[in-house]
Structure 1
Amino acid sequence: MPISEAERHRGGGRSSTSRPAARAKVPLRQLLKVASVACGIQFGWALQLSLLTPYVQELGIPHAWASIIWLCGPLSGLLVQPLVGHLSDRCSSRFGRRRPFIVGGSTLIAVAVLLIGHSADIGWLFGDRGDSKPRAIAVFVFGFWILDVANNMTQGPCRALLADLTGNDHRRTRVANAYFSLFMAIGNIFGYATGSFSGWYKILPFTVTSACNADCANLKSAFYIDIVFISITTFISISAAKEVPLGSRVRSTPFAEEGPEHSGQSEEAFLWELFGTFRYFSGTIWIILFVTALTWIGWFPFLLFDTDWMGREIYGGKPNEGQNYNVGVRMGALGLMLNSVVLGITSVLMEKLCRKWGAGFVWGLSDVLMALCFLVMLIISFVAKNMDYIGFDLPPDGIVIAALIIFTILGVPLAITYSVPYALISTRIEALGLGQGLSLGVLNLAIVIPQVVVSVGSGPWDQLFGGGNSPAFAVGAIAALAGGLIAVLAIPRSSAQKPRAII
């Protein structure tokens, strides 16, 4: 009888015609509750993406080096998310496989944002005075890197938990990932709205200190709110999951795995297993990974510099020089909130779009739309630079409105990026029996490696061409267009895939 290559690797001799016992379908409302943790995680991400690049420049780090601070996200993602996925696939805790990692990651997020929010105060306590803030920068960078590690530690098991619940039901997998994307949108809306409000220091006056001015206090207050959000959503998610510990033989639950087939050979070294999964990937999986990499080369410059672009190139300001920059950053956060509203609406429609046109085609069109939006941003930057208000006045309403419209439209491709690649990978990986946690960690490699390239290159590259953000956006537009064309032409319309078999 033909045996799948993945089964032979694991020492299995089951017939390819045999079928595991049917798993009871998890109610959609339960999937919704489990996915809610994305709201708390993304609330913190929204604050991080909208406020921390400007804030780190206010602490004294030049724009050319600001992107280097973001290196921890992709670097930790190279190892942390695949490692956590690998460990969660094999975790035998009585609380389940994924939930201990979700709780641990959420706790670490809370610790990290407290460090970031109080970095100026801690620096002052240890001797920072005036414009020189080396100790505050050190605390900020340490907290920032811990935050990225915690985010990577949390998101992988969250995605894997949804994949556990849906199994190889392709439609429900897309629905679960759409729910996850929807809650990411809701978290973004609350996070960006929190970041765009400039009066938190009045509501929480104790956040203003000798070392922490109003802008710093607003950041600190926003992170306090983040801790509340992540605590509530984590509790809802882990309470709804009802995981059964690995190795349980109870078959009335979707978490009753069949031991060796799903847990793999625990004696294998992690890195060997991580890279050993590559040999079982079909051409379609490699295409998905390649398009994912191109898509994130497109997204990462925007996610790094969106509010900085609004403050510098639309409002014509600079950090610590007048109010134009800070006003632009808050306007950028407002644009990102509008972006998240569209992201949420698109997430609700995701299943219908993918069922009608095919997930690969929808993904490809969204990448092309993203490239067009970045091109329009370059045009807006050029027009703004050649107007006479820079350095003297606020930008004309038409320029601001055009920028906000682009931010809003980008919610459509962002929703698809947050959902479709994970659904495409998880349904194909399910057929290979390699473990959802480890397999989604492999997908993360296609996200973080491009981010390393962008983090290292975008700041110096922008500085080489005058110190703005346009060169990085131009690279992003080219990558997004290439990824869109490949997705449309090369990813099959069907979401199903059979495991490869050998005689």
Structure 2
Amino acid sequence: MEKPRQGFWGLWNISFGFFGIQVGFALQNANMSRVFQTLGASKDDLPALWVAAPLTGLIVQPIIGHLSDRTWNRLGRRRPYFLTGAVLAAIALFLMPLAPAIAAPLVFAAAMLWVLDASLNISMEPFRAFVGDMLRTDQHAAGYAVQTAFIGAGAVLGSIFPWLLEHMGVANVAPEGALPDTVRYAFWFGAFAILAAVVWTVVTTREYSPEEQAAFTGHVEADDAGEITARLAAKNPLGGIAWIVAGIIVALAVDMLGLQKEVLLLGALLAIYGVLEIVAIRMARQGTKPNMLSSIVGDFSGMPPVMKRLALVQFFSWSALFIMWINTTPVVTQYVYGSTDTASAAYNEGANWVSVLFTVYNGVAAIAALVLLPWLSRKFGQVRTHSICLTLGALGFLGFFFLRDAKALIVCEIGIGISWASILAMPYAILASNLPQAKLGIFMGLFNIFIVVPQLLVATVMGSIMLAFFPGEPVWTMLFAAAAWAIAALAMTRVSAAIPARNA
């Protein structure tokens, strides 16, 4: 017995909620540096303020993945998490523009970013597994392509909305310390968009029950709790101690090398993981019943080979993306529009142009997902397609390093957009076809670790590198981004050996 083949509207309904989620992410990515700078943050403060995004993803996604694999109620398996995250994200988007009226506006904005990003992650993680749940294997690539198209479309709308408002006569300049009306109204629109889109998916889809999933696969997938316990019990606790030592070394290096204090967060995370691993091993050896901690640690240590190889690709892919989201506004406003004064017309014109540039790469991604990626995949296979697209994106970042014409940067965004489409589709299509159905949630959540860890490194270490070698010159971050995507393209060539030839 096979899952029913989904037609156009089935694919549409399954992924439409991601449209709203991406409106929220786009507003965050294109405007939070502007918000922080407007509220008094310097360029050097931005990485630390942005640390909320990767940290919340690191914590939230594995937990939500674990829980959603084990959930079944009236709303289903994944849909309860879509809806909860959407409601919380809408609240954060509504409150964010009120920051200037709060006693500590910068602190309030940073806190709302934490809430917003955590909420978006609560909604986003189950959507990745949802495609795998709802579609048969031969539709995985199509499903993630449609999801990517909605991501691109939502990001286009979220990115360009302030610019559209300005051209409709809404004020794009405000007194020092205040957010322009274009930004405030855009965030409020985003609150409505995410809630409406996610509710659409919740209302128009019906998830398959555990019994139906078992019938589709022809068997009930065995509970691997015993295997996880045995794997943990066999692990050497010295591995956990090594993580702790690494964390201590990183913390000591902050003072010894004069690194920024945000690097302490990286050291703390390394040490905490080491402690959690030791605790999980101890529980396994004592025969403690498997729980969330042991499942997450055990599955992390027992990732399938294809996931391990894709993890390296994701690490470098998302390093470049986070560099772009943090630094595009400072780079464009300083080098193309010649202003670092957040209250000036030139700065705000440049910041709005960044919204247009982000709109371009997301629009290109939406088109590429439906037109270019399927053609490239048929011709070269999924692995080589992803490598080609990452190379095009690396060339796009090189353009930012050399070009000083605003319109010329659109060409750069085309390459970045093609790469972005592939990042959102190819790795997930490969994984969904090669992971156990019953554990899609947890494995997709763990895969996210290799998205957020590089972002944490960028948010903590990049600031120290820039201060030490390129103070006041954010354009050099684009060279780092180009190098990261070039490395990811090379790393992708190692993935073929870990997956069946029919999926490569």
TM-score (norm: length of structure 2):
0.81
Match of 1:166 in 2: 135
Q: 2:306 touches 2:431 (CA, 8 Å); kept in 1?
A: no
Residue 496 of structure 1, CA deviation: 6.1
Deviation by residue 1:294-331 (Cα, 9 ceiling, x = unmatched): 11112210122223321122111113352211111111
Match of 1:473 in 2: 478
Aligned-partner Cα distance in 1 for 2:173–2:412: 35
1:453 maps onto 2:457 in alignment = yes
Letter in 1 for 2:476: P
Letter in 2 for 1:352: W
1:378 corresponds, among 401, 405, 419, to: 401
Q: 1:50 touches 1:192 (CA, 8 Å); kept in 2?
A: yes
Q: Which runs of 5+ in 2 are unaligned?
A: 229-288
1:116 corresponds, among 96, 103, 112, to: 96
Residue 404 of structure 1, CA deviation: 2.3
What does residue range 358-397 of structure 1 map to in structure 2 within 5 Å?
358-380=381-403, 384=404
1:332 maps onto 2:354 in alignment = yes
Letter in 1 for 2:471: G
Match of 2:317 in 1: 295
- Secondary structure of the 2:44 match is helix
CA gap of 1:289–1:497, structure 2 versus 1, over 3 A, is farther
Aligned-partner Cα distance in 2 for 1:362–1:487: 10
Deviation by residue 1:147-175 (Cα, 9 ceiling, x = unmatched): 010111111111111110124x1x31111
1:238 corresponds, among 198, 202, 218, to: 202
What does residue range 135-214 of structure 1 map to in structure 2 within 5 Å?
135-167=104-136, 169=137, 171-199=138-166, 213=178
Match of 2:183 in 1: 219
Q: 1:336 touches 1:408 (CA, 8 Å); kept in 2?
A: no
Match of 1:132 in 2: none
Letter in 1 for 2:78: R
Residue 211 of structure 1, CA deviation: 9.4
Residue 338 of structure 1, CA deviation: 1.6
**Superposition RMSD on alpha carbons, in Å?**
2.8
Match of 2:276 in 1: none
Q: 2:393 touches 2:417 (CA, 8 Å); kept in 1?
A: no
Q: 1:361 touches 1:493 (CA, 8 Å); kept in 2?
A: no
2:441 corresponds, among 430, 434, 437, to: 437
> Whose helix fraction is larger, Structure 1's or Structure 2's?
2
Q: Which runs of 5+ in 1 are unaligned?
A: 1-20, 127-134, 385-398, 499-503
Aligned length: 440
1:272 maps onto 2:236 in alignment = no
2:487 corresponds, among 471, 477, 482, to: 482
Q: 1:307 touches 1:329 (CA, 8 Å); kept in 2?
A: yes
Residue 241 of structure 1, CA deviation: 2.0
CA gap of 1:483–1:91, structure 2 versus 1, over 3 A, is same
Aligned-partner Cα distance in 2 for 1:212–1:221: 17
Aligned-partner Cα distance in 1 for 2:59–2:398: 34
Q: 1:98 touches 1:161 (CA, 8 Å); kept in 2?
A: yes
Runs of 4+ in 1 over 4 A off after TM superposition: 200-203, 207-213, 250-254, 256-260, 262-267, 492-498
Deviation by residue 1:35-78 (Cα, 9 ceiling, x = unmatched): 01111111111111111101201101111011111111111111
CA gap of 1:42–1:106, structure 2 versus 1, over 3 A, is same
Letter in 1 for 2:192: V
Q: 2:146 touches 2:370 (CA, 8 Å); kept in 1?
A: yes
Residue 470 of structure 1, CA deviation: 2.4
Match of 2:52 in 1: 72
CA gap of 1:314–1:281, structure 2 versus 1, over 3 A, is same
Match of 1:421 in 2: 427
Residue 253 of structure 1, CA deviation: 8.6
Letter in 2 for 1:176: G
Aligned-partner Cα distance in 2 for 1:252–1:320: 57
What is the percent sequence identity of the aligned residues? 22
Residue 250 of structure 1, CA deviation: 5.1
Match of 1:3 in 2: none
Letter in 2 for 1:369: L
Residue 346 of structure 1, CA deviation: 0.4
Residue 263 of structure 1, CA deviation: 9.3
